[in-house]
């Protein structure tokens, strides 16, 4: 495989135009070679911006092109299996946006096709490549596997303390604040997104829980008041629990994601990929902040982290209100790993790096989301082997 790797992007909508296309164009590991979309006006706009790309409205043309070495599939989940089958037949690597598919039957068929073809395959659970998440996961796993409790840990009665099998077992919570006024029309189309955010958002978070807790998810119980409020609890084979709370009647003026992981007398907190805080873990940094993307206000909130972000966001919201342009609130984004996941997938393709989020990990995260959906429908706990 030559270096850099030539990519064709299939589906050049807002996700691709906002992230994958500029990220591929700027990468020194990958090259933006072809853009595919059924909408000619999108292709014309892209030709005006990226002069040396090829364009086509037929994904089969791009897949068959010998100069296209890898595919980035960023259509909505209405189009997955036919493209993956064509790419598998051409024996090319493929990155696929989340969710992997709209139904469990299609999920399992994709898994079969990918395993049989043996192609490098990556699903866009990009938080696995966010700098803050990567560092937090490493600290948490290290502490879970080689506990480093602090000598000051309050211990009321060491001699009398009962010896309990769950001593140290981790629990984690994920809190999502979203504003549904920002959602696209297709989200409400049952043909395109039959399970709404319980699938297309949830797989990000079930994947993070699986990754941080590093155990087999066994049982899920969920309550949902469609389409905006969802509560999901996942029990893992070793007794760990993860709780995911998603609210879509929230606000863009407050950070979207909070992850709190506790185990072995320690805590690792990831506040919206802007800062990581730890406590009770000897030698772990107490607080670390991470760079933001598209920061229009570098002179405001210079301390960074959550407090810096809140100051920048207040400035962006004031500008949006004054200009009557609500898109101006989109500034100072946390680095969710969108650029890094493509670069790391290239490393995987080239044999230089590990599997980033392969088909089996993606299927695991998607099955947990489907178990949660079944649980809300049937109002009972659902075991993973049921889905």
Q: Which positions lie near ligand NAD, rule CB under 6 A?
A: 10-16, 36-39, 42, 59, 74-77, 79, 97-98, 124, 126, 184, 186, 200
Compare residues 12 and 114 and give the one whose CB is closer to ligand NAD: 12
Compare residues 97 and 275 and give the one whose CB is closer to ligand NAD: 97
CA dist list (Å): 97 to 16, 73, 223, 273, 307? 10, 6, 26, 20, 31
Compare residues 232 and 339 and give the one whose CB is closer to ligand NAD: 339
Tell me the closest approach of the beta carbon of residue 380 to ligand NAD, in angstroms.
Answer: 28
Compare residues 75 and 264 and give the one whose CB is closer to ligand NAD: 75
Which residue has the CB atom at the shortest distance from ligand NAD? Answer: 13
Compare residues 133 and 139 and give the one whose CB is closer to ligand NAD: 133
Provide the strand spans (E) within 213-348. 217-225, 229-236, 241-247, 257-263, 266-271, 275-279, 287-289, 292-293, 333-334
* Tokens found for residue 228: 């905006």
Contact 315, 184 (CB under 8 A): no
Tell me the closest approach of the beta carbon of residue 376 to ligand NAD, in angstroms.
Answer: 20
Instruction: List, in sequence order, every residue forming a beta bridge with 258; answer none if it has no partner.
Output: 175, 271
Tell me the closest approach of the beta carbon of residue 202 to ligand NAD, in angstroms.
Answer: 11
* Tokens found for residue 285: 């940094």
Measure the CA–CA gap between 105 and 112, rounded to whole angstroms.
11
Tell me the closest approach of the beta carbon of residue 227 to ligand NAD, in angstroms.
Answer: 15
Where is 9: in which H helix or E strand? Answer: strand 5-10
Tell me the closest approach of the beta carbon of residue 284 to ligand NAD, in angstroms.
Answer: 28
* Tokens found for residue 316: 């962006």
Tell me the closest approach of the beta carbon of residue 184 to ligand NAD, in angstroms.
Answer: 6
Question: Which residue is associated with the tokens 């959906």?
Answer: 373
* Tokens found for residue 345: 């997938």
| Distance, C-alpha 309 to centroid of its chain | 21
Compare residues 101 and 284 and give the one whose CB is closer to ligand NAD: 101
């Amino acid at each position: 495989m030559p270096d850099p790797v030539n990519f064709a992007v299939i589906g050049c909508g807002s996700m691709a135009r906002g992230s994958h296309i500029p990220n591929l164009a700027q990468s020194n590991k990958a090259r933006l070679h072809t853009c595919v979309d059924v909408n000619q006006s999108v292709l014309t706009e892209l030709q005006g911006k990226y002069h040396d790309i090829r364009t086509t409205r037929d994904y089969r043309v791009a897949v068959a092109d010998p100069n296209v070495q890898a595919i980035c599939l960023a259509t909505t989940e209405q189009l997955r299996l036919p493209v993956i089958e064509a790419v598998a037949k051409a024996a090319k690597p493929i990155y696929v946006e989340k969710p992997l598919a709209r139904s469990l039957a299609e999920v399992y068929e994709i898994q079969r096709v990918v395993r049989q073809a043996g192609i490098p395959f990556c699903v866009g659970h990009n938080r696995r490549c966010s700098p803050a998440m990567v560092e937090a996961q490493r600290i948490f796993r290290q502490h879970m596997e080689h506990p480093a409790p602090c000598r000051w840990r309050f211990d009321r009665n060491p001699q009398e303390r009962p010896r309990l099998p769950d001593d140290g077992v981790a629990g984690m919570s994920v809190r999502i604040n979203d504003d549904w006024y920002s959602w696209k029309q297709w989200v409400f189309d049952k043909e395109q997104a039959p399970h709404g955010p319980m699938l297309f958002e949830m797989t990000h978070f079930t994947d993070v829980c699986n990754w941080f807790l590093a155990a087999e998810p066994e049982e899920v119980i969920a309550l949902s008041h469609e389409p905006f409020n969802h509560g999901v609890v996942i029990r893992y084979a070793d007794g760990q629990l993860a709780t995911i709370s998603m609210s879509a009647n929230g606000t863009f003026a407050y950070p979207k994601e909070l992850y709190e992981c506790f185990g072995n007398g320690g805590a690792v907190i990831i506040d919206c990929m802007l800062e990581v805080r730890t406590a009770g873990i000897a030698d772990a940094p107490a607080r670390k902040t991470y760079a933001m993307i598209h920061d229009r206000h570098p002179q405001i909130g210079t301390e960074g982290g959550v407090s810096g972000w809140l100051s920048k966001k207040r400035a962006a919201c004031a500008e949006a209100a004054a200009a009557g342009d609500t898109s101006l609130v989109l500034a100072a984004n946390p680095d969710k790993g969108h650029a890094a996941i493509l670069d790391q997938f290239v490393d995987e393709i080239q044999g230089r790096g590990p599997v980033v989020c392969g088909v089996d990990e993606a299927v695991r995260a998607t099955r947990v989301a489907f178990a949660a959906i079944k649980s809300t429908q049937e109002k009972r706990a659902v075991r993973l082997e049921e889905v």
